[in-house]
Structure 1
Amino acid sequence: MKKQWRVLFLAAAAAVVMSTGCGNSASTQTTAATTAAETTAAETTAAEAKAEESEAAAEVTFGGNRTEEDIDWQYVDGKDAVAAVGSDDVQFLDVRDDDTYAQGHLKGSLQCGLKDFESADAQKAMYELAQTMDSSKPVYILCYSGNKCAKTAIAVMKDAGFDTNELFIIKDGAKGKDVAAALVTE
């Protein structure tokens, strides 16, 4: 027992000696204070960013028909979309319901069911998913036919800060022959 106390005492003494250094205690304290201030500033900045993000989400109105919004809808041919599967340059988003997605989707696609495209809950879920996506990369959006669900996704993603020129509806949706042939269940 005495040996343990002696080891503990020596370790504590060594820690004190090392922390004071060779007369640089003022420098060490200044560095520690600077590091603490920088950490606090970084934490404050992160908290402010989170608060701004929450305020932005609070300003977004979810629910209702978003397909008639004044957006210049962008389209990509099904054949070109299928050719881009597996590329790191494009993100795929499937907005069909969970069961349909499970029956077949483009490999690597994210999924958020917008079958009930006017639902506030569905639109909020889409907004939350969009927050996890890379807004600097194009997004190819797959829905049943390439219309209402995909347009709703684009309107919501616009609210989440995406450039609508980088959001593309896959023409003819999942019913298009090239896309239908490329759907996987894994």
Structure 2
Amino acid sequence: MNNNKCFKYAKMTLSDNLSVIIDADEYNYVSHYYNSLKEFRTDLVDSSCLDSESFKIVYGALIKQEYVQLDEALIEAKRAIGHTLGYIDYSNNSCILSDLVDLKIYRSNLEDRVPFAALIKTSLQFSEEPLKEKSLFTRYSNLTCMKNILNRQFILSCAYEFSAKDITKSNWTEYINNRKVLYVFKNIK
């Protein structure tokens, strides 16, 4: 029997008093940044095509940061509506920007994550394939990408997308498949 389990998210200890939850795709960026001398550290370039992006409904898991209570992370997620999200694309030295238009949060018995459906404006593609989730976080333009990662209270782990020409901010919740939201959530590790 093979008991090998792969996980997309892990706690990374950066110093004696700093540990953060990161996405496996962010590991190289965070590791390289922290293992470089300060004078050689560079930030990622923000990249966006907001004019050509379309509305997408995405499902996934809202994962709280280690040092934050879930209630705090949920409040912060609601505050992020109408703001910019970032996704680390380290292979292209960029942080791809998207807009969080709206967010619906579901209940969960877990203490560190909850299911969600979100309406976002993005050029990113999302996949249900295991370990292919994309991690989005609130992207504050006055902070470096690294400071955003270190200070983020939550990650939106996005693993499914749905789009249609007639999706709007006022009707998007009519397109949500609640069973699918819970199915996608259950499969995020």
Decide which structure has the larger Cα Rg and report it: 1
If the TM-score is normalised by the length of the shorter chain, which range does it land in?
Answer: under 0.3
Give the structure-1-normalised TM-score: 0.23
Give the structure-2-normalised TM-score: 0.23
More helix as a share of residues: 1
